[in-house]
Amino acid sequence: MDRGEQIDITQRLLELQVAVRSGKMNFRPQDEKLVREIMALSLKPGELLDPGRLSKQALSLVRESAMALRFINTESRNKIIAEINLSDGQSELFRLFAAVFVAMTGHSYEAIHSYEDIKDGFLAKLKGKAGTFEHEFNAALGDLGKFYDKYSLALFNHAKELGGLKIVLGGQRTFGPSALGGVQKMGLYVDTQLIPDPIYPFLEAELQLKAKYIELLLNLHRILQLKPLVDVRLPVPPIVVFPSFERSLEERDIQTQIGINDLVVQVVGSACSATWSSIDELMEYARKRQNEFIDAMLRAQLFVPSGGIPGQELSARKAIELHLADLRGYRSPEDMAEIEKMPPGAVIVLAIMERLAPQYHLLENGEAFCTTASDTTSSLALL
């Protein structure tokens, strides 16, 4: 079995396990033993299935079930997915963004200009009349969630169909000040800027953030600065915000997991004398030859501590201390507890992986939007 086939069978296995756990798929009584064998198999994220770990009969059941499961998934999607034209879809999306912002702060995004104003508005709303905040916030966020369920794929497909000179933004986990500034500048040079939706991840998956609501508000406030570009409804839209499904892909798609792992191995390998064929081999090297590995990463500037400055000379110990101290400021306590259990070499591999994962998605989105030979699509990383 070649690597492509191994990736395919692993993805089918993972999809089948999820379907069985959720009750989406049921099997005949005579298949129960094989189903138990399949469900007992556990893989780490990014780990490929070794076919020898399942019997031939169980592998056959995985392959046979995959087609039926994909048909079921297609039927389910078709029940909720609807079409909407691009202008209406973008206008409604930004209207819902604005509604969530008002529900969380009590103010329009245009009336708030600083982080302190955002925080004060949020805290005042939170301490207001009992139950009001929760009701308004849940209603506004619920409407946004329904919009995503219904139209997210339509928006993605519309973005793919656009012609002209397009650039795809990415390379960061949030829509920060540099991303906003980049959009404002690049609007002079390109037809359309495609922006991965920075709000969608808050509804898509658990982000392990310490101050999740403040982070949500900051992202809302920045992306809403672009609302006037949407409201003018130009024939060629200057911006399109699209859902890129990054968190879901990282959690459930083996192709994405392998792609990120391979990118990390290749990039890190360029700075070390050793070579590896998998992320597990890299992790083992980082553990066994820790000092050599950390020095190489600092020397090549592949590890820049969170909150650190590129080019800053730090000892290995100081760099890791600075990295962990900054993470404590915004990562959840549960997430930090897991990170602080890791050996220093593994902490650095994880940090590099978290910086490279958005770059992988940027490359992936860039390829996805090159739909025709007449299109010119570029990728723009804003770190």
Q: What is the pLDDT of residues 34-63, one digit of tens each?
A: 888 888 888 877 788 888 888 888 887 777
Structure confidence at residue 237 as a pLDDT band (50, 70, 90): very high
Mean pLDDT in residue range 259-276: 86
- How many beta carbons lie within 10 A of that of residue 85, not counting itself? 10
- What are the phi and psi torsion angles at 336 (to 5°)? -65, -35
How many angstroms separate the CA atoms of 319 and 323, rounded?
A: 6
Query: What is residue 232's predicted lDDT score, i.e. its pLDDT?
Result: 92
Mean pLDDT in residue range 127-140: 79
Distances (CA, A) of 333 to 132, 174, 202, 205: 28, 20, 18, 17
Structure confidence at residue 66 as a pLDDT band (50, 70, 90): low
User: Residue 78: left (phi > 0), alpha (psi -120 to 50), or beta?
Assistant: alpha
> 169 pairs with which residues across the strands?
380
Q: What would the DSSP string read from start to end of 172-229? A: SSS--HHHHHHHHHHTTT-SEEEEE-SSHHHHHS---BTTHHHHHHHHHHHHHTTHHH
Q: What is the SS3 assignment for 348?
A: helix
38 in Cβ contact with 17 (< 8 Å): yes
- How many beta carbons lie within 10 A of that of residue 237, not counting itself? 21
pLDDT one-digit tens code per residue, 155-199: 888 888 888 888 888 767 778 888 888 888 888 889 999 998 999
Check pLDDT > 70 for residue 374: no
Structure confidence at residue 130 as a pLDDT band (50, 70, 90): low
Q: Locate 95 and state its tokens.
A: 């209207």
Q: Where do runs of H (alpha helix) occur along the chain?
A: 3-22, 32-40, 56-80, 86-105, 115-126, 132-161, 177-186, 200-204, 212-224, 227-231, 246-252, 254-269, 279-288, 290-299, 316-327, 333-340, 344-368
Mean pLDDT in residue range 307-326: 80
How many angstroms separate the CA atoms of 43 and 358, rounded?
A: 23
Check pLDDT > 80 for residue 380: no
261 in Cβ contact with 279 (< 8 Å): yes
> 241 pairs with which residues across the strands?
195
More confident residue, 25 or 348: 348
End-to-end CA distance of the chain: 39
Check pLDDT > 60 for residue 373: no
Side-chain half-sphere exposure of 375, counting CA atoms within 13 A: 18
